[in-house]
């Protein structure tokens, strides 16, 4: 039976770089196991379904996100600079349609945690984290994941600074997934 992976990132925002990330992530995972099924959390599920031939759910539909997490074997949040607080962080927006930034991606991680589903942060960038609230929220989100890969050493230094144990095997620095597509052709 094929496994289902729910992927969340800044998808459906009509951004070519993020679309390239999603394509690279799915291609990399399919290399490992070619019969995977994907559900993508997107800001434009219809466009994401059409472009990538996957199931998709809107980031603002919390009930549907929760159902998608429950149906998944793995929740993967990533690619890109998702953990930053350029526009602040509002913890009361977790599990609400109004979430944004850290609470958008944190909502998916927290749902996975609540439903006992394994969750991974994949090739994420961290920073800047200007506020103490952003640092606390990011540290808490990272602690709920079974594995974390970071896209750069600056992100590693920042999460170490906010109290994440970067010496563990679950946190590693890796190349941005798009580079694996470029190299592999």
pLDDT 10s digits, 15-25: 999 999 999 99
Per-residue pLDDT, 185? 47
pLDDT for 183 equals 46
pLDDT, tens digit, 9 for 90 and up, residues 131-160: 999 999 999 999 999 999 999 999 999 999
Alpha carbons 185 and 177: distance in angstroms, whole number: 13
Domains of the chain and CATH, by start: 4-184 (3.40.50.11720)
pLDDT along the chain (185 residues), means of 10: 95 92 94 95 97 97 98 95 94 94 96 98 96 97 96 95 90 80 48
The overall average pLDDT reported for the chain is 93
Distance CA 122, CA 130 (A): 22
Counting beta carbons within 10 angstroms of the beta carbon of residue 108, is it exposed (0 to 12), middle (13 to 18) or buried (19 or more)? Answer: buried
SS3 label, residue 5: strand
């Amino acid at each position: 039976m094929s496994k289902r992976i729910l992927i969340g990132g800044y998808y459906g925002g009509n951004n070519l770089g993020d679309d390239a990330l999603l394509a690279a992530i799915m291609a990399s995972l399919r290399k490992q196991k070619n019969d995977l099924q994907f559900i993508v959390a997107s800001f434009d599920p219809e466009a994401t379904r059409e472009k990538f031939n996957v199931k998709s759910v809107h980031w603002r539909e919390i009930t549907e996100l929760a159902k998608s997490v429950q149906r998944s074997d793995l929740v993967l949040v990533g690619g890109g600079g998702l953990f930053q607080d350029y526009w602040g962080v509002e913890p009361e927006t977790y599990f609400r349609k109004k979430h944004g930034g850290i609470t958008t991606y944190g909502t998916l991680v927290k749902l996975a945690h609540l439903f006992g589903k394994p969750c991974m942060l994949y090739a994420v960038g961290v920073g800047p984290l200007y506020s103490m609230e952003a640092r606390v929220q990011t540290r808490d989100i990272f602690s709920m994941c079974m594995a974390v890969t970071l896209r750069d050493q600056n992100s590693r230094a920042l999460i170490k600074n906010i109290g994440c144990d970067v010496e563990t095997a679950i946190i590693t620095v890796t190349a941005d997934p798009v580079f694996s597509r470029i190299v592999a052709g």
